[in-house]
Amino acid sequence: MAYETILVEVKGKVGVITLNRPQALNALNGQLIDEVNAAIDGFEKDPNIGCIVLTGSEKAFAAGADIKEMQGRTFPGTYLDDKFADWDRIGQRHKPIIAAVAGFALGGGCELAMMCDFIIAADNARFGQPEINLGVIPGAGGTQRLTKAIGKAKAMDLCLTGRMMDVNEAERAGLVARIVPLADLMAETMKAADGIAAKSLPSVLMAKEAINRAFEVALSEGLRFERRVFSSLFATHDQKEGMAAFIEKRKPDFQNR
Ligand code: CO8
């Protein structure tokens, strides 16, 4: 597929998607969201790929959903045409997705980063949900995921004032997993992604699913889920290999089965 709004590369066992609408600070229009989904579809199906990286430019991960595209929308048209479903799919994938964020991650851009499994941020990254300044509210999960990530006080502060957080505040608040110098963003992110892709895919997929369960269910049900999945991994070749390799003091040869 020829993409117009993103760049797609395979680097070893990592699929890299770069948002590429520099003239609009990577504003997220419908075409871009469709293309991101198509690229992830390909990576999910490719047995060679063990991790996905989603990134933008040095100036902007993404400055939000495309305001020019949304401007003429109506109620209930916005609700009924369910563009939300296309965004939701990005947060429903099986393989791990790391967001490598530099510059602005605002509105839908912050929401897109939060749909990924964790965020590695450059020291110039800035996060915010400024939709309140446009007469709307976050519409791709911002009121929910941000609140779960950083708590009510800061989520209210950001969503009601529309202010931006710098990267240090975002890390202290728990939104960002790691801060790295801008010049090292892709190298550090690829190091993390390569490391994940080298592990046993079944255990990576199950770890992701189990952690995400924590956001959906009560603790007792989450623990039951974790125990079932933990136990089921003892049916894999890679569990036997991983534990044997530890005892024999050698590197494991995982076969993703
Ligand atoms: N949409 C469309 N175009 C944008 C957007 C955007 N979100 N952000 C920037 N651009 C465009 C500008 O219009 C400008 O284009 P042009 O040169 O043609 O005028 C170009 O990008 C460069 O932008 P600026 O000149 O404004 O650059 P600055 O460096 O001066 O400012 C900012 C950078 C602060 C990031 C500024 O551009 C800004 O405030 N952008 C808007 C941020 C925003 O409000 N984001 C939230 C959007 S609403 C949203 O995301 C809702 C998500 C719900 C999704 C639900 C889907 C179903």
Q: Relative to the CA of 106, which ligand 1 atom is closest?
A: 45
Whether pTM exceeds 0.90: yes
- Which of the listed residues 23, 25, 57, 163 should we mutate to test ligand 1's pocket, taking the one with most ligand atoms within 8 A of CB? 25
- Which are the contacts of 200, defined by CB distance < 8 A and separation ≥ 6? 236, 238, 239, 241, 242, 252, 254, 256
Cβ contacts of residue 86 below 8 Å, gap of 6+?
30, 33, 34, 37
Residues 206-225, mean pLDDT to the nearest whole number: 98
What is the C-alpha end-to-end distance of the chain, expressed in Å? 30
Considering only CA atoms, which residue is closest to atom 37 of ligand 1? Answer: 63
* Tens-digit pLDDT profile for residues 163-179: 999 999 999 999 999 99
The finding on whether 84 has its CB within 6 A of some atom of ligand 1 is: yes
What are the residue numbers of the active site? 65, 108, 111, 131
Asked if residue 114 has its Cβ within 6 Å of ligand 1, the reply is no
68 lines ligand 1 (CB under 6 A): yes
| Tens of pLDDT, residues 9-61 | 999 999 999 999 999 999 999 999 999 999 999 999 999 999 999 999 999 99
Among 57, 59, 67, residue to substitute to test ligand 1 (most atoms within 8 Å of Cβ): 67
Please say whether the beta carbons of 121 and 169 come within 8 A: no
Whether ligand 1 lies within 6 angstroms of the CB of 89 is answered as no
Average pLDDT on 197-202 reads: 98
Q: Measured between alpha carbons, how far is 239 from 202 in angstroms, rounded to an integer?
A: 10
pLDDT band at 1 (very low <50, low <70, confident <90, very high): confident
Give the confidence band of 83 by pLDDT, cuts at 50, 70, 90.
very high
* Residue 103: predicted pLDDT: 98
The CB of 139 under 6 Å from ligand 1? The reply is yes
Distance from residue 50's CA to the centre of ligand 1 (Å)? 33
Mean pLDDT over 170-198 rounds to 98
- Residue 182, pLDDT score: 98
The structural domains of the chain, ordered by start, are 6-197 (3.90.226.10), 200-248 (1.10.12.10)
Share of the chain above pLDDT 90, in %: 99
Task: Compute the average pLDDT of residues 234-252.
Answer: 98
Residue-wise pLDDT tens digits, 122-151: 999 999 999 999 999 999 999 999 999 999
Distance 216 CA to ligand 1 centre (A): 32
Instruction: Give the model's pLDDT for residue 131.
Output: 98
Distance CA 127, CA 101 (A): 9
Q: 80 CA to middle of ligand 1, Å?
A: 25
Mean pLDDT of 198-224: 98
**pLDDT tens for residues 104-117?**
999 999 999 999 99
Both tokens of residue 252? 């494991």
What is the Cα gyration radius of the chain? 19
Query: In the chain, where does DSSP find H-type helix?
Result: 30-45, 67-70, 77-80, 84-90, 108-115, 147-150, 152-161, 167-173, 185-197, 201-213, 219-232, 237-247
b/e 183-213 (16+ beta carbons within 10 angstroms → b)? eebbebbbebbeebbebbbbbbbbbbebeeb
